[in-house]
Amino acid sequence: MKKISIIGAGFIGQACAKLFIESGYQVMLSNSRGKNTLYSVASAIGCQIGNQQEAIEFSDIIVTAIPFANYKQLPTDLLSNKIIIDTMNYYPDRDGHFELLDNHQITTSELVAQHLNQSKVVKAFNAILAKDIVKDAKPNDKVNRRALPVAGNDMPSKQIVCQLLDQIGYDYIDVGNLSESWRFERAKPAYCISLNREQLKEALAKATKEDELPHNSWKS
């Protein structure tokens, strides 16, 4: 049985858990408050629950769905050699200001990869709203699918994540290394907008590092 672990039991983590389970995966969900707080969620979703260490030991694929400001709380040693699906987005009003990000010197996932320097970080599932993750998946329709962007420095790990996206019902575009993941970060044309593959290619190409869409325009 295929297994995936999720660190973070908020809206994104729960939505991913539901979708993975629908696609035949065993899922273990964890959060920072302890698994005693997750029994009702587990009952509703049908997932397993554990503390952070149990979740990390459960699978070699770990989805991180926590606020970006907390990324340094992820345990570097425990996550060694794991594939990390980084869903995190930088919101300065929530996370505080990171000068390197504000000055466009680095991407969010490159910072995560610097911290998790023994892991294989793949940026995915950040450019879709939680409410759309299950709704927009079309596992039985190869033609009229929404496309999601993916970036990563390790090609085999990125291919595993792309195969996962295909299994659960999404097209995808490999944007390149983590240094290119700024093209689908917060407030870029490809961020959280429902697009097919060709539309996503156009949106990614239109992105510039300095220009941002109006705040929350992607939620309209």
pLDDT(128) > 70? yes
The pLDDT, as a whole number, for residue 37 is: 86
As a whole number, mean pLDDT of residues 54-73 equals 97
Average pLDDT over residues 47-76: 96
Nearest to residue 89, comparing CAs of 65, 58, 73, 105? 65
Quick one: pLDDT at residue 35?
84
Q: What percent of the chain has pLDDT over 90?
A: 88
Long-range contacts of 94-99 (CB under 8 A, 24+ apart): 94/67, 94/69, 95/67, 95/68, 95/69, 96/69
Pairing of strands 147-152, 171-176: parallel
SS3 151: strand
Q: Cα separation of 102 and 77, whole Å?
A: 29
Is the pLDDT reported for residue 7 higher than 70? yes
Domain 67-219 has CATH 3.40.50.720: yes
Q: Which of 38-52, 93-107, 156-170 has the lowest mean pLDDT?
A: 38-52
- pTM score: 0.96
